[in-house]
Each structure stands twice: as structure tokens, then as C-alpha cells.
Amino acid sequence: MSESVSELSDIKTRLHEAFSYLRIEEITDRKTELEDLAAQPHFWDDTENARKLSQELAELSEDIGIFESLKVKIEDAETLIDLAEEESDESIFNEASLLLKNIEIEFIDLELRSLFTGEHDERDAVCHLQSGEGGTEAQDWAEMLLRMYQRWAERRGLSFEITAVSEGTEAGISSAEFIVTGRRAYGMLQSEHGVHRLVRISPFNKQSNRHTSFASMHVVPFFDELPDQIEIDETELRIDTYRSSGAGGQHVNVTDSAVRVTHLPTGVVVSCQNERSQHQNKEKCLQMLASRLHDLQQKQRNEEIASIRGENKNVGFGSQIRSYVMQPYQMVKDLRSNFEVGSVENVLDGEIDSFIESYLRWVRSEAQDT
């Protein structure tokens, strides 16, 4: 009984802390403001802006709802514990213990929300997968990773749109670009930015030798509109059109609708082939280019700060972040957080939430140490 009382006291303290880090008071005021706007008669005159504000309102309502639900459950648990003590009823005590366990599970999800503190964590994610060293092996590995992220997005209820695919020479893919749409897509997928290494028995080698393959993942936040600090001069762009391949349904290989845009000053290249027209593909390319240029600008600024501080941390795009070993043993290990699991098959089927969480906690601990 005393253990449950202590556990309840701890949970009440954590709820009080959650009130601060979730900014409940601030987002409640914002929710009221948005509700007032939504009640205005001309709210839907600007459909796109109304859609964005409605989405924000739904997300704020979700956060507040989770907090309020936990608050009510904690009050219920406190009432049950008091009643169990008064009547010395073991069955009521067991009911309270079960409720506390459920509250603990919900608290883990609530506290995870505090890890998304980046400026763009709420945004959609623009992703680029590139096969690395290893030829056909690496191209097959890149396709395995593409499927892993697609399965993960499905599990999370996120939208997954492949915008361009370059097929491999014999199997797999050379590269792929895709956009994951949904709340905190970028905040979660930033954990996947870097080089992924696979060790397995080669399915393409008659001698069944063990082979190591590499593929890189580049993740940036998606911007519907150009950020204020990003300017794209179309005279600095090379725009190429080509026939679509891969995703695109009945429009594949019908017209030269696919578009590739190269930003000449930086060498950044983006492509899109799954929209119905060349114009739509170009517009999507420009949105993706803005995201990539913003990321490049941010990276250069961080490198300048690190140089001033005298830091020399190899945390860039070329860094190996995770190792997937299928032979001679089974293990997936994140090389930053040191989190690891034994089931490679489950991870490749999209079960990467534990890696995302461990990465976000690692980032927070690193920030606290600096």
C-alpha cells in the first residue's frame, strides 16, 4: 500500500512538471484564440490558411486532452487508494495499482513530447536515400531501408509519398526521394539522418560471403513556402526534364513530366516524378530545394559556431549512425545512443520507434552536458 502511495506522489510531481514543459497554460490560450478565429464568418475564405489553423487547433487540443485525461486518472487513482485504506479492501487496492500502471504507460508518451523542442520538429520531412559503397548489395540495402521507412510511416499513421526513384543496375535502388507528412515527422526522422551499415550473407554472391553495405539518409524539414532567410534565384537553377520511372501509375513513361532541379551555386539536386504534370513536379522540386538549402545554411552556421568554440565533432551527413548485423549474429545498434535490439527483422519491418526515442533522449543529454 505504501509503495502505491509513493508511486502516486511521484506521478503527481511529474504531472506538475509536465504542465511546464508542455506549456499547457500557453497552448490553452492559443487554443482559445484559434477557436475564436474559427468561429468568425469569413474564416474559410482563405482555405489554405484555414486548413493550417484548423490543423494547429486539432494538435493543441490533442496535447491538452492527453494532459487533462491523465490529470483525471491520477485523481481517480488517489480516490481508490484512499478508499482502499479506509476499507482495507485488497480488491480496490489492486484496481488502483492497475490504474497506476496504465498511467505510467501514458506518461511515457506524454514525456516523449517534451523531447521535441526543435524549431522545425512539428514539420513534415523531406528525405533522400542514397546507396553507398557496395554496388548491387548497397542498392538492395537502400531499397530495404526505403521499405523500412514506408512501413514505419504506415504504423504511425503518417503519409508517405515517394517523389522520385532511381532504379539500381541489377536490383534495388540507386536513390530515392520521399516526403513523410504528419505531425512531428521531421522531429522523429531527424534521428535517421546519416549512414546506415548492413552486414549480412550476400544473396548475390554464389560463395555466400559475408558482405558489408552502406546507404545514407538525408532528412530536412519541409516548407510549404520559402523561409524568409532563403531566396532562390531561378537564373541560378538548371532545370532538366526526363521520362518518369518508378512511382506514377498510368502516367509513367507517357510524357517527359519528371523534373530535376540543380542549384548551381551549391550543387544541390532535387527531383520529382510522381505529380501529374511537369509544372506540378517543378513546384514540388522548388519546395524540396528550399528545404535542402535551409538545412545547408543551418549546417554552415552550426559549423561556424563549432569552429569558434574549438569543437571537432564528426556529426555530419557522412557519419555512420547505425549498424544492422544479420550475420554471424542478429543485432541493430545505434552508434550514438548505444541503444540496441536483437531482432533485425522487426526493425526492418518498421519498428524503429525505440531508436527514435533513444536518439532524442541522447540529444537532450548531450545538450545538458554542454
CATH class of 125-369: alpha beta
What is the reported pTM? 0.71
Q: Which pLDDT score is estimated for 66?
A: 87
Nearest Cα residue to 145 out of 213, 246, 201: 213
- Omega cis (within 30) before 221: no
Q: Which pLDDT score is estimated for 226?
A: 63
Taking the chain (370 residues) in runs of 10, the rounded mean pLDDT of each run is: 75 84 88 94 90 88 89 91 85 87 81 81 92 87 96 94 87 92 93 94 82 92 72 86 56 63 90 83 86 81 53 48 93 96 96 94 78
The DSSP secondary-structure symbol of 11 reads H
Same fold, 2-115 and 125-369: no
Domain topology for 2-115 = Methane Monooxygenase Hydroxylase; Chain G, domain 1 (1.20.58)
Q: Distance between CA atoms of 127 and 179, rounded to whole angstroms?
A: 6
Nearest Cα residue to 132 out of 272, 347, 318, 315: 318
Residue entry with cell 487496492: 93
What is the end-to-end Cα distance of the chain in Å, rounded? 42
Query: Domain map of the chain by residue range?
Result: 2-115, 125-369
Q: Which pLDDT score is estimated for 2?
A: 61
Q: Which pLDDT score is estimated for 73?
A: 92
Q: Which pLDDT score is estimated for 370?
A: 57
